[in-house]
Amino acid sequence: MARSTFFLIGFFICLSFFVVVEFWYLYSTRSMTQEAVNKKALFIAHVGLPDLSLVGETRYVRHRSLSDVFSIFGDSPELLEYFPSTFVYHYAPYVSTSAGRVEP
Amino acid sequence: MKFNLYLLEFALFSLIRKGAKTLFVFLILTFLIFLLASVLFISDAIKHELNVSVAHLPELTLQRLQAGKQVNVPLKRVEPLLEIEGVASVIPRVWGYYYFKVAGVNFSVVGIDAFEQSYKESLQKVVDAYDVKALEKESGMIVGAGVKKILEENYYQDFFNFVTADGKWKRMHIMGSFNADISLQANDMILLPKKSAYEIFGMPENEATDVVVKVSNPEEIPTIVSKINQLYPDMRVVTKEDIRVSYQNIFDYKSGFFLSLFVVSAFTFFMIIYDKLSGLSSEEKREIGILKALGWSMDDILKERFYESFILCFGAFLLALALSMAYVFFWEAPLLRSLFVGYSTLKPSFELPFYFNMPMIVLLFLLSVPVYIGSVMIPSWRAAMLDADEVLR
C-alpha cells in the first residue's frame, strides 16, 4: 500500500474520530438539560410569553406570537423593515396577510 | 461492487496530480457545506428552544381587538370565561413594553401576583440568589441579564426609576436576576408586582393586557374557542397550537435574508456542478482514452472516478460538519450571529443549546455528496462509452 493511501485512510479516520468526539462532547455538555427545561417551563408558566429575546427592535418580532397585525404598522403608517430582523423572522401567520388580505 | 485498492490508489494519485484544482474544489465544497450546516444548526437550535417554551404555555391566549388594534380586556370578563365548561383557570395578565430612552432599548415588563406561597417557591427556582418574598413589600423587580447590564452601564446599580404614564418617577429596586439557563427567554424581561406594572403603564386596575386560559382536556379546545367567540366576538383566541405552527415557519423564507444566503451558496454550488456537467476538459478525455487503450474497462474507469469524487466530497462534508459544530457551539457563530440577533442593543448571549437534527444532516449530505459524485460520474460515463481512438483523436 502506498504511503499516500495510508495518509488518506489516516485523514478519514482522524476526521471521523474528531466529528464523533466533538459531537459526543457537545451532546454531553451543551445539550439542554432536564433542569434547564424545568426552569424554562417554570418561567414560561409564570410569564406566559414564549418568544425568545433574540431580537428586540420591533414589537411584532420580539413577541411575535402575540402581536396583532396593526403592531406591524404601528411604528409608522407604512410597513417598516428592520434589517435584518424582519427579513429573518416572520411574524405569526395568524396575524399576517393571506392571499392579499390583511386579517388581524 | 468489489473494492479494488489499486483503483483507490490510482484515484488518490490522480487527485494529487491535479493539485491546485483538487484543493480549490475541496475548499469551495467545504465552505458551502459549512455555511449551510451552520445556518441550519442555528435555526434548528432556535426552533428547538422555541418548541420547549411553547410546550409549557397555557392552552389559550385571549386578546381584545378594537378597530383592528389590541386593547385592554376588562376584568369583568374573567368570571363569564370561568363559567365555560372545561376551563380550568383564567388568568388576566398585565404586560407591555417600556422604552428606556437613554439606551434606546425596549424592555418587556411583566406584572405578576407574587402573593401565593406555591408561586413564590417556583419563581425562586429560576432566580439567582434572591428572596422572592421581598418582591412585594420592597417594591422590587427581577430583571434579565441584558436589562441588568444596560442598567449598570447607565449607573443604575441597585434600583431603576421608571417614568410612569403620569410623568412621575417610580423607583423599583433590583432584587435579583434570572438564571443563566433562561437567558434566551428572559434577557430583556422585567418581572415586578402587578400593582407597580399598573402604575408604570398608567392602566386602570380593572383592566388587563390580555387573558390566558388553561384548559384541562386538550380535546375540548375547539369547543371552548367557539364558545369564547360567541360570548365575546371582539376577542381573538390564539391557541397553543397556533403558536406551535407559527414556529414551524418562523424564518421568513419568502423574502428573507436567510433565503438569499441559502440561494447564493446553493447557486454557487450548482454553478460548479453545471461547469462539471457541461463536459470534460480535453485533458481529462485524453486520460480516459489512454486508460481505455491500456485495457481498462468502462467499469474500472467509473469506479476510479467514483473513488476520486467520493474522497473529495466526503472529506469536505466531514470537515465542514466538524467546523460548523465548532463555529456555532464553541465560538457562538461570529458574523452569522448578527443575522439572527439583529442590531438591537440588548443582545442576549448566543449560547444555543446543542441540538442535532439527524434528518437535516442527511438532507445536507444528499444535497452535496451524491450531487457532486453525479456531476463527476455522468460526463466520465459519456466519455468512457466512446472508443479509445475516438476519444484520443
Across A100-104, B94-98, B148-152, least confident range: A100-104
Helices (H), A1-104: 3-30, 34-47, 59-62, 69-73, 85-88
B275-334 per-position pLDDT tens digit: 766 666 777 778 888 888 888 888 888 888 888 889 999 999 999 999 999 999 999 888
State residue A104's pLDDT score: 47
ipTM: 0.84
Nearest-angstrom CA–CA distance, A104 and B236: 9
State residue B117's pLDDT score: 63
CB contact under 8 A, B97 and A59: yes
**Strand runs labelled E in chain B:** 60-66, 69-71, 73-74, 87-100, 105-112, 127-128, 140-143, 159-163, 169-178, 189-193, 207-208, 210-215, 235-239
A76 compared with B60, residue with greater pLDDT: B60
> Considering only CA atoms, which of B147, B254, B164 is closest in space to residue B203?
B164
Tell me the three cell numbers of residue B154.
447607565
Cβ atoms B214, B160 nearer than 8 A:
no
Question: Could you say which residues from 14 to 53 on chain B have a Cβ atom under 8 Å away from some Cβ of chain A?
Answer: 16, 46, 48-50, 52-53
CB contact under 8 A, B246 and A93: yes
Nearest to B58 among A29, A31, A48 (CB): A48
CB contact under 8 A, B342 and A85: yes
B281 compared with B53, residue with greater pLDDT: B53
B202-219 per-position pLDDT tens digit: 999 999 999 999 998 989
CB contact under 8 A, B322 and A69: no
Residue A99 has pLDDT above 70, yes or no: no
Nearest-angstrom CA–CA distance, B102 and B388: 78
B320-362 per-position pLDDT tens digit: 999 999 999 999 888 888 888 877 777 777 788 898 889 989 9
Residue B5 has pLDDT above 90, yes or no: no
Residue B264 has pLDDT above 90, yes or no: no
Minimum distance, in Å, between the CA of residue A75 and any CA atom of chain B: 13
Q: What is the mean pLDDT of residues B372-386?
A: 81
State residue A18's pLDDT score: 94
State residue B215's pLDDT score: 92
Confidence band (pLDDT; 50, 70, 90) for A103?
Answer: low
Nearest to A43 among B13, B185, B339 (CB): B185
Mean model confidence pLDDT for chain B: 84
Q: What is the mean pLDDT of residues A58-72?
A: 74
By the CB < 8 Å criterion, does A65 face chain B? yes
Q: Hey, how many other C-beta atoms are within 10 angstroms of the C-beta on B70? A: 21
Nearest-angstrom CA–CA distance, B345 and B132: 28
B351 compared with B234, residue with greater pLDDT: B234
Confidence band (pLDDT; 50, 70, 90) for A77?
Answer: low
State residue B130's pLDDT score: 67
Tell me the three cell numbers of residue B260.
438569499
Domain ranges within chain A, ordered by starting residue: 1-31, 33-104
Question: Could you say which residues from 178 to 237 on chain B have a Cβ atom under 8 Å away from some Cβ of chain A?
Answer: 178-179, 181-182, 184-189, 191, 210, 212, 236
Q: What is the mean pLDDT of residues B119-135?
A: 72
Tell me the three cell numbers of residue B276.
462539471
Nearest-angstrom CA–CA distance, A12 and B126: 45
Across A39-48, A71-80, B301-310, B312-321, least confident range: A71-80
Confidence band (pLDDT; 50, 70, 90) for A54?
Answer: confident
Nearest-angstrom CA–CA distance, B288 and B83: 82
Residue B12 has pLDDT above 80, yes or no: yes
Question: Could you say which residues from 68 to 97 on chain A have a Cβ atom under 8 Å away from some Cβ of chain B?
Answer: 68-71, 82-90, 92-94
* Chain A residues in contact with B112 (beta carbon < 8 A): 46-47
Name, of A44-48, A75-79, B223-227, the range with top average pLDDT: B223-227
**Percent of the residues in chain A that have a pLDDT greater than 70, as a whole number:** 74
CB contact under 8 A, B250 and A31: no
State residue B151's pLDDT score: 92
State residue A79's pLDDT score: 64
State residue A96's pLDDT score: 54
Nearest to A94 among B50, B238, B318 (CB): B238
B249-263 per-position pLDDT tens digit: 777 665 556 666 666
B140-183 per-position pLDDT tens digit: 888 998 999 999 999 988 899 999 988 899 999 888 888 888 88
Residue B371 has pLDDT above 90, yes or no: no
Say which residues have a Cβ less than 8 Å from residue B370's Cβ, sequence separation at least 6.
none
> Considering only CA atoms, which of B147, B178, B157 is closest in space to residue B344?
B147
- Kindly state the helix (H) or strand (E) to which residue A60 belongs, with its residue range: helix A59-62
By the CB < 8 Å criterion, does B248 face chain A? no
Substitution target from B6, B243, B357 for chain A, most A beta carbons within 10 A: B243
A16-28 per-position pLDDT tens digit: 999 999 999 999 9
Placement of cell 442593543 in the chain: B345
Taking only Cα atoms into account, the Rg of chain B, rounded to an integer number of angstroms, comes to 30
> Considering only CA atoms, which of B63, B136, B52, B152 is closest in space to residue B100?
B152
Nearest to B329 among A30, A42, A43 (CB): A30
Q: Hey, how many other C-beta atoms are within 10 angstroms of the C-beta on A99? A: 5
> Considering only CA atoms, which of B64, B234, B315 is closest in space to residue A10?
B315
